[in-house]
Every structure is written in C-alpha cells, then in structure tokens.
Amino acid sequence: MVKFDNVIVCDHPLVQHKVSLIRDKNTGSKDFRELVHEIAMFMCYEATRDLPLKDVQIQTPLGELANAKIISGRKLAFVPIMRAGLGMVDGALALVPTAKVGHVGIYRDKLNGNTAADYYCKLPFDIANREVIILDLMLATGVSAVKTVDIVKNAGAKNIKFMCVLTCPEGIKALHEAHPEVEIICGAIDDGLNEDLYIIPGIGDGGDRLFGTR
C-alpha cells in the first residue's frame, strides 16, 4: 500500500475488526452507531498520544511518588462535521470528557461545481487556545475537510488534527495540499472514489447508515 506522510492508520486488530463490521451492508443503524462510537474511542486514544505530561507528587496508600504523570494542561476541542461526524463525538468525549465541542455544518453545493457551502458554525469561544480534533466519518473528496480546517484556522486554532474512520488517496491529497501540517488519523485508506464520489469499497452513505435515513 502507498504510504502517506502525516497519516496514521489505526491498525489495532479491534479497530480493524469493527471497521469491517460497519462495512457490512447487513449491519443496521443501531449496531452501526455503537461500532462508530467504539471506533472513535480507539482512534481518539491514538490522536491524543502526543499530549504532554508533567510530574506531580502524590501520596499512594503505601508511600510517596514524586513523579506521577498527569496530562499537562493542553485543552482539546472536538469539531464534528455534520452530519456524519456527530456519530464520533460521544466516543471521543468518553476518552476526554472535559473537551469542548464545536459544530460545523457543510453540504456539497452541486450547482456550484461541487464546492463546499457552510450552513452552520458554532465553535468554542477559546478555540484559539485549544488543540482541535475535527471529526468526520469519511474523508472522501476532501472538500468539506479543507473548508472545515479553513473555518477552524480563521477562528484562531493552530494545532489541528483530522480524525475519520475511512479515507482514500484523493481525500488525503486534497486535505494535505491545502493543509499539509494537519495530521490525519484514520481506520483505513480505501481504494478511491467512484463516479458519485463515494469511497470504494467504503461503507456507503455514512450519515444515512448512522441515522437510518435511507
């Protein structure tokens, strides 16, 4: 497989197993949602691997420890892209319950050459001081991802990662051409896009499968 810079594929067997389960067309919305929740938790573990630690002194029941490690104050914000990114929020929050959550709503404007049109944006007021992890189920064409990173950067954020369950070479290329420093954390890199811009083999329409709207 082609190796991409600044992309982490979560190759843990539990993640790979659950990604295969959501690919299965016979997996219904309830199971799909639960699996996405669990995958997001595992991926968040990987995405937060570089959080800085500091030493503190603590008293254990049996003595004193001068260099107990705790996370050293870096604050996080999760920003799901609506609607499919919403399915990943609770899994991410299960690992980092103190994170703030912003929302960005984007649709593909087919009348305007498939450009990204944003219809909703509400971000934490102090996002400039937070490490931001953008959440979306799929990084497909990259159009929504690029636009969301633009929005978050315009709000002052400097430290941004992008977490998605599935991506493909086209999406990685588009996001990294616009924002090369944004690390992508994903569950798998699929073959590419079909003529309808769905990831192949993929999972189908992620939003429909999450919310049962097909």
The binding site for ligand URA (CB under 6 A) comprises 84, 138, 140, 198-199, 202, 205-207
- Closer residue to ligand URA in complex, CB, 91/124: 91
- Closer residue to ligand URA in complex, CB, 76/134: 134
Of 25, 28, 9, 58, give the one whose Cα is nearest residue 165: 9
CB of 137 to ligand URA, least distance (A): 6
Of 114, 108, 177, give the one whose Cα is nearest residue 149: 177
Tokens of 80: 């799901």
- Closer residue to ligand URA in complex, CB, 123/138: 138
- Closer residue to ligand URA in complex, CB, 124/171: 171
CB of 86 to ligand URA, least distance (A): 13
Tokens of 3: 């190796």
CB of 206 to ligand URA, least distance (A): 4
b/e for 12-29, b at 16 or more Cβ within 10 A? Answer: eeebeebbebbbeeebee
